[in-house]
Chain A
Amino acid sequence: GAVVSQHPSRVICKSGTSVKIECRSLDFQATTMFWYRQFPKQSLMLMATSNEGSKATYEQGVEKDKFLINHASLTLSTLTVTSAHPEDSSFYICSARTGISYNSPLHFGNGTRLTVT
């Protein structure tokens, strides 16, 4: 089956530093990847849609200069949280579709728990 690997699974950083989260599709090519954020016991909020070779599309209210997304290859997308603050502490999850059809399901990474101290 389609596997999405997300790294790191947990990261603790100090306020003001930057953190990079990687999302890889291991056995398929993903032209589109999605980045979500999830607060405890809440749903997933779509942050941005990452398209290989082009700029990401950010959802309303998401600061593109703070959450930098790069999708340089068909198997790798990265999310960099710049100048992190405690309020950025959250669970970040990436996902990818195996096909271009909207009837293709999403495959998720196992998420990254970010704690900013």
Chain B
Amino acid sequence: SQQGEEDPQALSIQEGENATMNCSYKTSINNLQWYRQNSGRGLVHLILIRSNEREKHSGRLRVTLDTSKKSSSLLITASRAADTASYFCAMYMNRDDKIIFGKGTRLHILP
């Protein structure tokens, strides 16, 4: 399968804590993107990191990319109840010009 693998599959933390999700993939990529999905809705783009970048920040989000290990992580700091959602990594593969999604992490922020 070309899908990425994400861990954990599900994560429950207290509000205010940091949440870390990891993504591993198999093939060479041009970029890796993270998306968020609220239940029964479409996906919202969070952040894109290019293959020549190692770290990127956007507000409370921090993404790292290690192309040697074919892995990425998404850190959400100071979590809020509104962060409860599913988070997916997505890999762009230039050879095929398509974006393949990982299996996702279901994040639940406890009040």
Q: Which residues of A contact B (CB under 8 A)?
A: 4, 6, 34, 36, 41-44, 46, 49, 91, 93, 95, 102-103, 105-111, 113
- B30 CB contacts on chain A under 8 angstroms: 102-103
Given the interface pairs A105-B45, A110-B42, A111-B40, the reply to whether A44 lies near B31 with Cβ below 8 Å is no
For the complex, count residues of B whose C-beta is within 8 A of A.
26
Alpha-carbon separation in the docked complex, A111 to B50 (Å): 27
Q: Mark B28-43, 1 if CB is under 8 A from A, else 0.
A: 0011010100001111
Q: Mark B43-67, 1 if CB is under 8 A from A, else 0.
A: 1110010100000000000000000
**Are B99 and A46 interface neighbours, CB within 8 A?**
yes
Q: Which residues of B contact A (CB under 8 A)?
A: 3, 30-31, 33, 35, 40-45, 48, 50, 88, 90, 92, 94, 97-104, 106
Mostly, the B contact residues are strand
**Are A102 and B31 interface neighbours, CB within 8 A?**
yes
Alpha-carbon separation in the docked complex, A29 to B94 (Å): 21
Shortest 8 CB-CB distances between A and B: which pairs?
A: A108-B42, A105-B45, A110-B42, A108-B43, A44-B101, A43-B103, A43-B101, A102-B92
Question: CB-nearest residue of chain B relative to A48?
Answer: B98
**Are A41 and B106 interface neighbours, CB within 8 A?**
yes
**Are B41 and A111 interface neighbours, CB within 8 A?**
yes
Question: CB-nearest residue of chain A relative to B99?
Answer: A106
Which of B35, B42, B44, B94: most chain A CB closer than 10 A?
B42
**Are B45 and A107 interface neighbours, CB within 8 A?**
yes
